Amino acid sequence: MILALDIGTTSTRAVLFDQHLIKKGQVSLPLAIYADEYGNVEQDPNELWQKTLRCAKELLRVNKINLKDLACLGLANQRETTIAWNKSTGRAVTRAIVWQDRRTADRCHALESKRELARRIRATTGLVIDSSFSATKIEWLNNQHFSGSSDLRSATSKDDKGGVVFGTVDSWILWHLTGGQVFATEPSNASRTMLMNLKTTDWDDELLKLFNLKSEQLAKIVPSQGQFGLTQKKLFGREIPITGILGDQQASLFSHGPMRPNMLAVTYGTGIFALKQIGTIPRPAGSGILTTVAWQRSGKATEYAYETSALTGGAMLEWFKNQMGLVKDMKELDALAASVSTTGGVTIVPAFSGLAAPDWDPAARGLIIGLNRGTTRAHLCRAAIEAIACQAARMAELLDEQTGTRSKYWKVSGGLTRSNPLMQSQADITNARICRSAHVESTAAGAAMMAGLGAGLWSNWQEAAHFIQCEKIFKPQRLKRGQAFLKQYERALERAKGWAE
């Protein structure tokens, strides 16, 4: 058995897989998000850890698992979110700054204005300068701490000799799983900090100096597959080997197995992420595309991917439900969207936290346009689903232009893929076949697959990937209508840009 922990943005879950990657059980819990109108987005690090642990314990209890049958533990996590904690006590000293947070947008704009510096950062890290990445978040927290201001100072004990360290969610969870014995990360997460050199897969001295950081404040970078350490015996009653860690999107990509050039992996979660494998050379990419580490397996060359993303996917549907009260749940939203064949002229641009690829506009804001007296809830729900499909279509087009291939076959996963109207709309807008994975929660499956390889459960990646199948394939049906709506979406998009400037 493999225990996979998947710490997302809106929820955390524990999933149990057998050696054939058949899901044997799952327990999940929601996570609170603290957001304000200024673009600050935070979470409680203690809640991330405690609820993840609760999920794991409950999963093992409900399924009456003999701990001797647990071969290993794998971990997947939301990336870029930054946590500061006391190295002596292991206590978080402030809330986590979530990947969606925009508080350092001005700092990023200032860095971007220095063209030569911006060029070097992109060449070194594969990333555009943006506040979604960890570097400026860590810098902000570091400055808060050493300036002696805010809750960082008050939360640090007077007898602290270990100082404050900074890490992404994988480092934070790994620290607690091992009782503070292991302070480490791996390249798929480290490559999202804007501090790691893509070629060396180590912290870059020039970037550490730029952001006024010391390497000892950051976790050690080790391969994604291998022996990270053992869980504390008191947590589960037995020490469990931790043998695989990946950032959530890389975990999803890994779960699909080796992919051909005409394939694209897309994950529909809180945000939307599209990735293409590009091999073992970190090739630079054009505007709006990130070059990122896919994974680093033991004894093998580091593998890379191109990635594009949209900041708001499922988060918009949560907004429909929680803030606007338009629907009771996602099932009702889906049913309303399916009840109409068009949006009735309504277009939604869900730029709640600005725009990521291909626009990279932190000043963009959400927009609903085309309302009329005949507009119903069903039209709004349909427009929300179409907006998600349009975002993914634009991301795919960007990746296709970069690689010189056309993505005719998409492998998709994530909670939103349960929506048949969304998946059909995606096929219509892109003229692609959409393969919905039987493992909708592919991030957990990818973490389990990496951990299983690290524990020697399979001889190679291909053998493990053999167990992953399509649950349903959506084929294009209304191409003309899909292309027309994409053009309408792009018109609305121009009106949403730069709104907060």
Residue 288 has pLDDT above 80, yes or no: no
Residues in the chain: 501
Q: pTM to 2 decimals?
A: 0.85
pLDDT one-digit tens code per residue, 36-58: 888 899 999 999 999 999 999 99
Judge contact between 84 and 164, C-beta under 8 A: yes
Confidence of residue 244 (pLDDT cuts 50, 70, 90): very high
- Cα distance between residue 175 and residue 180, in whole Å: 5
CA-CA distances (angstroms) from residue 142 to 99, 133, 150, 303?
17, 15, 11, 31
User: Is the peptide bond prior to 358 cis by the omega test (within 30 degrees of 0)?
Assistant: yes
The pLDDT of 312-322, averaged and rounded, is: 83
- What pLDDT score does 42 carry? 94
Q: Do domains 2-249 and 314-404+476-496 have the same CATH topology?
A: yes
Cβ proximity of 176 and 187 under 8 Å: no
Given this model, what pLDDT does residue 247 score? Answer: 96
Give the tens place of pLDDT for each residue, 62-110.
Answer: 888 888 889 999 999 999 999 999 988 999 999 999 988 889 989 999 9
- In terms of Cβ atoms closer than 10 Å to its own Cβ (0-12, 13-18, 19+), residue 289 is buried
Confidence of residue 156 (pLDDT cuts 50, 70, 90): very low
Q: What local confidence, expressed as pLDDT, does residue 396 receive?
A: 92
Would you tell me which CATH number, out of the four given (1.20.1730.10, 3.30.420.40, 3.40.630.10, 3.30.70.1140), belongs to the domain 2-249? 3.30.420.40
Average pLDDT, the chain: 90
Q: What are the extents of the domains in the chain?
A: 2-249, 251-310+434-474, 314-404+476-496
CB burial readout 431-448, b (16+ within 10 A) else e: ebbbbbbbbbbbbbbbbb
Q: What is the CATH number of domain 314-404+476-496?
A: 3.30.420.40
pLDDT (tens digit per residue) in 386-439: 999 999 999 999 999 998 889 999 999 888 898 999 999 999 999 999 999 877
List Cβ neighbours of 131 (8 Å cut-off, separation of 6 or more).
101, 102, 103, 104, 105, 107, 108, 137, 362
Separation of alpha carbons 99 and 356, rounded Å: 12
CA-to-CA dists, residue 499 to 351, 410, 462, 487, angstroms: 10, 33, 47, 21
> Please, which pLDDT band fits residue 496 given cuts at 50, 70 and 90?
very high
Per-residue H/E/C for 475-489? CCCCHHHHHHHHHHH
CA distance 272 to 275: 10
User: Exposed (0-12), middle (13-18) or buried (19+): which is 371, by Cβ within 10 Å?
Assistant: middle
pLDDT, tens digit, 9 for 90 and up, residues 230-239: 999 999 989 9
